[in-house]
Amino acid sequence: MEAWGGRCVASPSTETKAGRDILERFPDTPGSFGIAISEAIEAAVSDTTGKTRYSLGSVLNHVMLHQTVVGLEAKKQLDIIGEYPDIIIGCAGGGSNFAGLAFPFVLDKTNGKEIAIYPVEPAACPTLTKAPFVYDHGDTARYTPLLPMYSLGHAFVPPPVHAGGLRYHGMAPTVSQLVNEGIFEAKAVTQLDALSAGVLVSRTEGIIPAPETTHALATVVEEAKKAKEEGKEKVILFNWSGHGLLDLTAYEKYLADELTNFVLSDEEIEEAENVFCEFPKPVTLKSC
């Protein structure tokens, strides 16, 4: 971005009230997707020049639908070769990458097609696998509307794992609802297992995957091994969401045995909900 004339500011920053508030309370914070969203919204709404725009994405339903061009295209490509997936896998942070691939297959599943659909998240940020289904804000400073979603709490800051955009406290309402209804089955992967899959694929396919993508790949490897052990032939469709050439530090640390696993406990999740005593707790959805 700077090569093209942009200016990059690491979040949390001292340039917004949201960032300053976080740094004052937690000066050593590793930051989070939720904090960055708060800062971006504040920067946009406080700009007096009228030149700044901010478009909310990733967790909002219209973005999920926009992304489905990916899944629709995948469906047509599979038709051309006479195949249909038994398993669909995508990494899930805010939800748009996973939903883009999976949503076009949901109707088939509800109509009786046997498909396993897995959104995969970091074990250090287990939104779908451990968090409650609540009304919560999509950002730390509560600038966004309340959304019905699985959420670890808008004040939650994930451990500094190499998971890129998957370090997010909530999940898209549409993805959350489909997990709640049992259409999707969420899975969580540790960073060591994710990067192990990334190295395996790098050495076999010659492409270095992004840390987000390695979470999906870890589940692909697991499901492929399971099918082999069961003597079954299965078609696995997954979303390769990005390359890892900007994330080589993660691979360097992994290969040097400098990384450890973070698995969030129930106690840590409960503690995260109480971090900001002045922030109202998310409202639990009794039914939906």
d(CA 288, CA 135): 11
Residue 1 has a pLDDT of 86
- All residue ranges of the chain with pLDDT < 70 are 272-288
State the residue range of the domain holding 262.
61-281
- Are 273 and 281 contacting, i.e. CB atoms less than 8 angstroms apart? yes
The answer as to whether 42 is a domain residue is no
The answer as to whether 5 is a domain residue is no
The answer as to whether 35 is a domain residue is no
The answer as to whether 7 is a domain residue is no
What are the beta bridge partners of residue 134? 149, 284
Only one residue has tokens 């899975």, namely 187
Q: How many domains does the chain have?
A: 1
d(CA 162, CA 166): 9
The answer as to whether 50 is a domain residue is no
Beta strands in 65-210 (DSSP E): 87-91, 116-122, 133-137, 146-150, 187-189
Residue 264 has a pLDDT of 82
SS (HEC) of 233-277: CCCEEECCCCECCCCHHHHHHHHCCCCCCCCCCHHHHHHHHCCCC
Q: Which residues contact residue 287 at a Cβ distance below 8 angstroms, ignoring those fewer than 6 apart?
A: none
The answer as to whether 134 is a domain residue is yes
Q: Which CATH number characterizes residue 152's domain?
A: 3.40.50.1100
d(CA 105, CA 117): 9
d(CA 240, CA 155): 30
Residue 271 has a pLDDT of 72
The answer as to whether 10 is a domain residue is no
**Using CA of residue 207, residue 213, residue 219, residue 224, what is the dihedral sign?**
negative
